Chain A
Amino acid sequence: MAERDLNDLLARSMRSRVNRRSFLAAAGLMGGSAALAACTGGGSETTAPTAGATAAPGATPAPATPEPAADIESELFIYNWSDYIAPENIEAFEAMHGLTITYDIFANNEELLAKLQGGASGYDIACPTAEFLPQMIEGGFIDKLDMSRIPNMSLMDPNLLSQDWDPNNEYHVPKDFGTTGILVRKKIVTEPLNSWQDFFDLATGKYSGRVVLVDSLGDVLVMPLKMLGYSLNETDPARLAEARDILLQLAPHVLALDSDTYQDKLATEEAVLCLGWTGPLLELREDEATADTEYVVPSEGTLFWLDVWVKLAGAPHPNASYEWLNWIHEPDVQKAETEYNGYATPNLEAAKIVDPELLADPAIFPPADVMENLEGADPAVTDDAGRIDLWAEFKSSIGR
């Protein structure tokens, strides 16, 4: 009986509308002045003095664990996205503890979850996207973390924590975050583009057939739902029907659904508008021929994503895992991560020492007013039948 109530509670809390205002308003300060970030980040935790002292470039910090480290095993198995940890950090960690890191790659969250649900095991640390946390917790695939062994958690921006996907911050350590938005070749698309509505008008109008969307349900549905002023986690059938109309109007004008090579299509100018992420942005900007590429966060609001570290149940190397989870957020380690990956760090101390050019880039570190409009994905709706059907219908209608 009690379990039933708890389940109901959990289910209801997951379905509640995810409110981002408070955290986002303050998180926006990260992109702003470092001084403000220092104030909110707090200098009261024990690691602060160490963090300041180790700002010297290239220095490997002494791990600031308050208690004596338990015996650290000789291996660590990490299951992560491709190329998502700065190589110098891997080497540093290995050298520090005399262990070997095995870095295995997965290609998407759904596959990771399916594998775990099917019974796969053997890894220590994984890096899913936050909205998959509840399923992983409920399935018993990840361990509750002993946060006393991860003192660097206190360096996290508190407004990123205590979200619906892990209300008591017991199961994860944030890694980095970003948004879904519009990439555009400004050289060709000279019209103003500030909103999803603009995107829709241009895509169905002048630039028909030169639009690419990422092949991702959760990201593409953001567009019509935000245009209509609804939550991007909408499951109400009537509202989904309205979104469906918009999507089906757009479908004939879409060139491709592509999550992997949309930057190439932008580069060859086969596509000039793209609903996508900031990943390729830096590379596109580096090359003269494509330096006109810009990233727009639409005014109606959009999705933000957060990648997190988790410790998998049955991890064969628990001590090494804890070491890693804490060490990765040593500020200069995190600084190296941010500069390698090009995504925003959730670590306030690290944000102070990140390359100022990155900090000033609104695509990577969105300003406060943009942050207010960001909404996170609700884990409970990722497999909603109505949304999935809509997506299947949209996919069948592309180009027709």
Chain B
Amino acid sequence: MTATAATAATRRGERGWKSAFFTWVLLFPAALWYFLLLVAPLFIVVVFSFGEKARNGGYAPAFTFDNYGQVLERAEPFFASLRLASSGTLLTLLVALPLAYFLATRAGRHKGVLVLLLVVPFWTSFLIRAYSWLIILGPRGAAGVVGDAIGDPAFRILGTEVGVLVGMTYGYLPLMIFPLYVTLERMDRTLVEASKDLGAGRWATFRQITLPIILPGVITGSILVFIPMMGEYVIPAILGYGRTFLIGNALVLDFLEARHWPAGSAKAVGLIALMLVTITFYLWFLNRGRKVRDVSVL
């Protein structure tokens, strides 16, 4: 027993440098892309953030902290985005979780097709689907029906937070379902059954067996949804009737209308830094006490 174990360990040790080389080969393409198309452009953004607006609009070389000063002054769009993204993520999670669970554990043979059918609608232009929501939720659709029922002719779903949340959940559902599904799907059902055999109640089983397993999925899903929602402004513009002013709007205003690239860049850098800190805390908080720390930053 010890002899084979020792030999095995030696073999693993021998594979040392070859293994390391192989690891770097595996990592290379992604690393290359991150460097060229993320680090380099971000470097440009940081350089911009310390510059000045060129007379013709755009960027003029300079070194100043003015843009960052401005960021702190006008923080309202940030909080508006934060509110929207938080409620949107929560709603999306609540809608996605039961469905992901159903698909992973109850769908049996039809699993694959059903999962595919989830994404097919998203291959039709998002904008067209958003405009369909205008019809569905509009005065000649749901709002009209509800308005008649409660006797309020001016009842509106569009142009309110409800309409926006519906649209957000709709747009981001796959991003939440897929991570949940892939973690749930590999959950060992025998554990659940064993737990029930041991007399544990449904809730206890869920809390102690299922939940820890799907936690990585929940984490990944909520991050994949929350972050883009922070930058979202198209859905609120259409379904919210343009009645909110979010970070996305502020950035578009800076880059396209004001053509003040340094100001927009400073806002972007601030946003990135803040979000990174938030996520780090979020992951740390959720991964406390977990032995497997692979979806974590810490």
- Chain A contact residues, CB within 8 Å of chain B: 108, 110-111, 113-114, 117, 135, 138-139, 209, 215, 217, 254-258, 261, 264, 268-270, 382-383, 385, 388, 391-392, 395-396, 398-399
Q: Is B250 a contact of A392 with CB atoms below 8 Å?
A: yes
- Interface: B193 (CB within 8 A): no
Task: Please measure, in the bound complex, the distance between the C-alpha atom of A257 and the C-alpha atom of B233, giving whole angstroms.
Answer: 13
Q: Is B242 a contact of A111 with CB atoms below 8 Å?
A: no
Task: Please measure, in the bound complex, the distance between the C-alpha atom of A388 and the C-alpha atom of B58, giving whole angstroms.
Answer: 15
Task: Please measure, in the bound complex, the distance between the C-alpha atom of A135 and the C-alpha atom of B258, giving whole angstroms.
Answer: 13
Smallest CB separation, A265 vs chain B (Å): 9
- Interface: B66 (CB within 8 A): no
How many residue pairs at the A-B interface have CB separations less than 8 Å?
Answer: 78
Smallest CB separation, B128 vs chain A (Å): 12
Tell me the B72-131 residues at the A interface (CB within 8 Å): 74, 76-77, 131
Q: Is B242 a contact of A110 with CB atoms below 8 Å?
A: no
Task: Please measure, in the bound complex, the distance between the C-alpha atom of A101 and the C-alpha atom of B138, giving whole angstroms.
Answer: 40
Q: Is A139 a contact of B253 with CB atoms below 8 Å?
A: no
Task: Please measure, in the bound complex, the distance between the C-alpha atom of A111 and the C-alpha atom of B259, giving whole angstroms.
Answer: 10
Q: Is B57 a contact of A383 with CB atoms below 8 Å?
A: yes
Smallest CB separation, A46 vs chain B (Å): 38
Q: How large is the interface on B (under 10, 10 to 19, 20 to 34, 35 or more residues)?
A: 20 to 34
Task: Please measure, in the bound complex, the distance between the C-alpha atom of A63 and the C-alpha atom of B57, giving whole angstroms.
Answer: 39
Known: A117-B58, A261-B131. A396 touches B242 (CB 8 A): no
Nearest B residue to A257, CB-CB? B242
Known: A113-B259, A268-B138. A139 touches B243 (CB 8 A): no
Q: Is A110 a contact of B257 with CB atoms below 8 Å?
A: yes
- Interface: B267 (CB within 8 A): no
Nearest A residue to B263, CB-CB? A385
Nearest B residue to A136, CB-CB? B56
- Interface: B255 (CB within 8 A): yes
- Interface: B194 (CB within 8 A): no
Task: Please measure, in the bound complex, the distance between the C-alpha atom of A209 and the C-alpha atom of B154, giving whole angstroms.
Answer: 9
- Chain B contact residues, CB within 8 Å of chain A: 55-58, 74, 76-77, 131, 134, 138-140, 154, 159, 237-238, 241-243, 245, 249-250, 253, 255-260
Contacts of B257 in A (CB 8 A): 110, 217, 382-383, 388, 391
Task: Please measure, in the bound complex, the distance between the C-alpha atom of A388 and the C-alpha atom of B256, giving whole angstroms.
Answer: 11
Contacts of A396 in B (CB 8 A): 76-77, 245
Q: Is A139 a contact of B56 with CB atoms below 8 Å?
A: yes
Nearest B residue to A400, CB-CB? B243
Task: Please measure, in the bound complex, the distance between the C-alpha atom of A135 and the C-alpha atom of B245, giving whole angstroms.
Answer: 27
Known: A139-B56, A268-B139, A396-B76. A383 touches B259 (CB 8 A): yes
Task: Please measure, in the bound complex, the distance between the C-alpha atom of A256 and the C-alpha atom of B245, giving whole angstroms.
Answer: 12
Contacts of A117 in B (CB 8 A): 56-58, 259
Given A117-B57, A268-B140, A392-B250, 4 other A-B residues pairs in contact with their CB atoms under 8 A? A139-B56, A258-B237, A258-B241, A392-B253
Q: Is A114 a contact of B253 with CB atoms below 8 Å?
A: no
Q: Is A256 a contact of B241 with CB atoms below 8 Å?
A: yes
Q: Is A395 a contact of B249 with CB atoms below 8 Å?
A: yes
Q: Is B159 a contact of A399 with CB atoms below 8 Å?
A: yes
Q: Is B56 a contact of A392 with CB atoms below 8 Å?
A: no
Contacts of A255 in B (CB 8 A): 159, 241
Task: Please measure, in the bound complex, the distance between the C-alpha atom of A149 and the C-alpha atom of B263, giving whole angstroms.
Answer: 43
Q: Is A215 a contact of B237 with CB atoms below 8 Å?
A: yes
Q: Is B256 a contact of A110 with CB atoms below 8 Å?
A: yes
Known: A383-B257, A383-B259. A113 touches B57 (CB 8 A): yes
Task: Please measure, in the bound complex, the distance between the C-alpha atom of A256 and the C-alpha atom of B238, giving whole angstroms.
Answer: 9
Task: Please measure, in the bound complex, the distance between the C-alpha atom of A340 and the C-alpha atom of B84, giving whole angstroms.
Answer: 42
Smallest CB separation, A231 vs chain B (Å): 19
Smallest CB separation, B48 vs chain A (Å): 11
Smallest CB separation, B92 vs chain A (Å): 25
Smallest CB separation, B42 vs chain A (Å): 15
Task: Please measure, in the bound complex, the distance between the C-alpha atom of A158 and the C-alpha atom of B191, giving whole angstroms.
Answer: 84
